[in-house]
């Protein structure tokens, strides 16, 4: 039968109390060292993995925005909205919900209205992108922009860039739309101020201005 001194040396006890204090502290110390070593390995592996992913994600693309060509180094996860604002400085395209619900970020891609927040920048390569800035003629407002001013279609104004781009897209496809077509065209743009009657009038006025020009 083992005596107390033997039990303390081995760290084990044959009685029901289990480990001795010395044995417990020894086992905890060994476990902590093993965990620390494992954590260090995992951390190093994670850092190496992140570095590899970042290097692989960097791609060069060419975007044609408002008839100008831009070569950019982007990550595949970046939205067109992010690239337009943060890398090209085209802040006329607004950040709204960033989930394709409000329409504040609407741009034209090959003359069709698209939500820039739901479009990846890499998807837009090789396409013709038009933003609010691209509708101006030098310092002169474009027909749709001018119509929105004339018809007082703005209150807070935050949704207006997206509204204008949706109307511009409509008029490029249907130069003389009826009211139903106008309502349908801006149905994906939310105006929290509720100026829809003025927006509809502005769209009709824009059609007339475009026809004159």
Q: Is-contact 77 69, C-beta < 8 A?
A: no
Average pLDDT over residues 79-108: 97
Handedness of CA 117, 118, 123, 127 (dihedral sign): negative
Query: Token pair for residue 181?
Result: 């077509």
Other C-beta atoms closer than 10 Å to the C-beta of 119 total: 20
Helix pair angle (160-173, 143-150), 10° resolution: 120
Query: What rounded mean pLDDT belongs to the chain?
Result: 84
Query: CA–CA separation, 127 vs 120, rounded Å?
Result: 12
Query: Tens digits of per-residue pLDDT, 8-30?
Result: 444 444 444 454 545 544 554 55
pLDDT at 13: 45
State the first-to-last Cα distance of the chain, in angstroms, to the nearest integer: 109
pLDDT at 54: 56
Query: Tens digits of per-residue pLDDT, 126-179?
Result: 999 999 999 998 899 999 999 999 999 999 999 999 999 999 999 999 999 999
Q: Is-contact 206 143, C-beta < 8 A?
A: yes
Query: Token pair for residue 156?
Result: 């807070």
pLDDT at 210: 95
pLDDT at 56: 56
Beta bridge partners of 128: 64
Average pLDDT over residues 93-113: 97
pLDDT at 58: 84
Query: CA–CA separation, 13 vs 20, rounded Å?
Result: 7
């Amino acid at each position: 039968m083992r005596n107390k001194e033997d039990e303390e040396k081995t760290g084990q006890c044959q009685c029901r109390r289990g480990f001795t204090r010395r044995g417990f502290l020894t086992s905890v110390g060994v476990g902590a060292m093993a965990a620390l070593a494992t954590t260090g390995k995992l951390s190093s592996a994670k850092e190496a993995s992140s570095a590899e992913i970042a290097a692989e994600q960097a791609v060069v693309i060419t975007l044609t925005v408002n008839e100008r060509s831009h070569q950019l180094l982007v990550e595949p996860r970046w939205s067109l909205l992010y690239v337009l604002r943060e890398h090209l400085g085209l802040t006329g395209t607004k950040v709204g919900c960033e989930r394709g619900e409000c329409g504040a970020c609407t741009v034209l891609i090959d003359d069709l209205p698209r939500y820039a927040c739901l479009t990846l920048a890499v998807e837009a390569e090789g396409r013709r992108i038009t933003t609010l800035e691209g509708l101006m003629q030098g310092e002169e407002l474009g027909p749709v922009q001018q119509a929105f001013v004339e018809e007082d279609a703005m209150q807070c104004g935050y949704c207006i860039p997206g509204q204008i781009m949706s109307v511009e897209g409509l008029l490029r496809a249907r130069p003389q739309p009826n009211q139903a077509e106008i309502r349908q065209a801006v149905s994906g743009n939310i105006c929290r101020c509720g100026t829809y009657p003025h927006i509809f009038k502005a769209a009709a006025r824009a059609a007339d201005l475009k026809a004159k020009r």
